[in-house]
Amino acid sequence: MSLLLRGGWKALAAWLAVSFLPGVAGAPFPAPAWYRSLDRPTWSPPPWVFAPVWTALYALMGVAAWLVAGGRRDGRRAALAAFGTQLVLNGLWTPIFFGLRRPGLALLEIGATLVAVGATSALFVRQRLVAGVLLLPYLAWVGFATLLNAEIWRRNR
């Protein structure tokens, strides 16, 4: 509760808003007919899955960042810088994959995102255990998305 009093509801709302920015940045690049025409693996999720999954992940990310930002431990700035880096990388994938239609380039980009999310989670754990744990579903999803991207690239080269 003391974190809530220190950081406040406004701070939580701000971190949530920041965390949803990659989703907003990707909105102009919906899955077009081009994506539906690609050879995708049978384990590729149906399109309706992505919006609720990303909504939940962005919310978890926002809460995790808020918990770290409200703390006072050494390394907090580095942890939040890593968070910002992975957010930017997250936001770049959709324009590369859907906008440029470059699954190979998107695979390189999502690989960097996966590393950045892992580093962010590790740095968050050092700040507050629950903050790092809140990023684990995101790390798992980006790992899955990396495998899916790789398979789509392999099948459609």
Nearest to 148 by CA among 56, 48, 55, 43: 43
3 alpha-carbon distance from chain centroid: 24
The answer to whether 121 and 53 have CB atoms below 8 angstroms apart is no
CA gap 60, 136 in Å, rounded:
9
**Per-residue pLDDT band at 1 (split at 50, 70, 90):** very low
CA gap 40, 130 in Å, rounded:
35
86-102 b/e (C-beta count within 10 Å ≥ 16 → b): bbebbbbbbbbbbeeee
What six digits make up the tokens of 8? 């406040």
What are the pLDDT digits (tens) for 48-105? 899 999 999 999 999 999 999 998 889 999 999 999 999 999 999 999 999 999 999 9
Q: Cα Rg for the chain, rounded, in angstroms?
A: 16
Mean pLDDT, the chain, integer: 93
Determine whether 2 is exposed, middle or buried from the number of CB atoms within 10 Å of its CB (0-12, 13-18, 19+). Answer: exposed
Q: What angle do CA 28, 31, 35 make, to 5 degrees?
A: 140
What are the pLDDT digits (tens) for 125-156? 999 999 999 999 999 999 999 999 999 999 99
**What superfamily in CATH does domain 2-155 come from?**
TspO/MBR protein (1.20.1260.100)
Hey, where are the domains in the chain? 2-155
Half-sphere exposure for 64 (CA within 13 Å, toward CB): 30
CA gap 45, 40 in Å, rounded:
10
Predicted pLDDT at 15: 96
